[in-house]
Amino acid sequence: MNKAIIIVMAGLFISITACKTPDLALKEAEWQSAERMDVQGRQGWTFNEKISFGDYRTVTLKRSWTKGSGAFVGWTVYKPGYNEIEKIIGVDYSRRKQSVRFELTDARQQESAVFCVTKVKSANFVIGNNPNSVVNTVSDVLEIGDDWQNGFWVNIFLKNDDRPWEMVIDNNDAQRQRKNYTGFLAMDRNTYYTIKPVYSLRNKNGKSVNTIAGSVGFEFRNKDGKPVAAVSLMDRGIVYLDKVSDQERFLLANACAALLLQQQI
């Protein structure tokens, strides 16, 4: 992610909106039932904070893929795919500062364990004898390309799911090709959300204004093209969740939390 672009845009728009974090300029006709949640605990560039928004909060938040040291990770180690992560990207890589693990919960006591790593190359998923991975198959289905050098790769393990959800964002194209870029959050080639950069904000008069360059957040759309979640990465952050099922909201909350925390990696 191009942090410099986000910082500059944040400064410009916060000054315009009288020191209030501006809302993303989401299309109102498509977002009639979205809940807006301010993010708490996202402290600039410090790391070991615990973030929260609405009913959702992180329980643990640590650098590197440290097995067995979290609140919920005991059930996670037996999940399919959990032990494949280091095989794909390498043990040494997963222990560097480019990775982070966190666990999320909510008021309904749903639980997750999430592994995030940045600066991943698309070649990792082929070289690791993994040509049929979710990353590769969904990339083919959505025709979004498979040649990236600065990817953000996330595995979301939900307690009641049999396998992890995977999220991929190409940090370079999400900024440089903001109008055309598509990322994804997927379980398999038939179960996925597309992710689009957001580069418009609401000014103090409520009008939509495009940022000069780059993107300032992301919007998630389901397989039918309906927006179901969005996250602003400006300042402390804002999360928007549609009124879908509790389970779907929890999944999307995990994905938004991962994107909020990428700047801390």
Total tally of structural domains belonging to the chain: 1
Q: 211-228 pLDDT, tens per residue?
A: 888 889 999 999 999 999
Output DSSP code: residue 23: P
**pLDDT at residue 218, rounded to an integer:** 97
**pLDDT at residue 134, rounded to an integer:** 77
d(CA 171, CA 26): 21
Residue with tokens 């991975």: 133
Question: What token pair was written down for 45?
Answer: 């560039």
**pLDDT at residue 31, rounded to an integer:** 84
**pLDDT at residue 142, rounded to an integer:** 72
The b-or-e profile of 85-110 (16+ CB within 10 A means b, else e) is bbebbeeebbebebbbbbbbbbeeeb
Question: What token pair was written down for 132?
Answer: 């049929």
Give the mean pLDDT per block of 10 residues along the chain (265 residues). Answer: 46 50 85 89 64 94 65 72 68 66 93 88 62 70 72 90 90 90 90 93 87 91 94 93 94 97 72
Distances (CA, A) of 145 to 18, 62, 176, 259: 40, 31, 15, 21
State which residues form the domain around 253: 3-264
Distances (CA, A) of 202 to 12, 15, 77, 206, 225: 13, 13, 43, 5, 23
Q: 34-82 pLDDT, tens per residue?
A: 899 999 988 654 555 689 999 999 998 877 665 555 666 677 777 777 7
Q: Give Cβ neighbours of residue 46 (< 8 Å, ≥ 6 apart).
A: 264
Q: Which helix (H) or strand (E) holds 231?
A: strand 227-232
Helices (H), the chain: 3-16, 73-76, 85-89, 91-94, 124-127, 134-142, 171-176, 246-261
What does pLDDT average to over the chain? 80
Beta bridge partners of 103: 60, 113
Residue with tokens 């005991």: 74
pTM (predicted TM-score) = 0.85
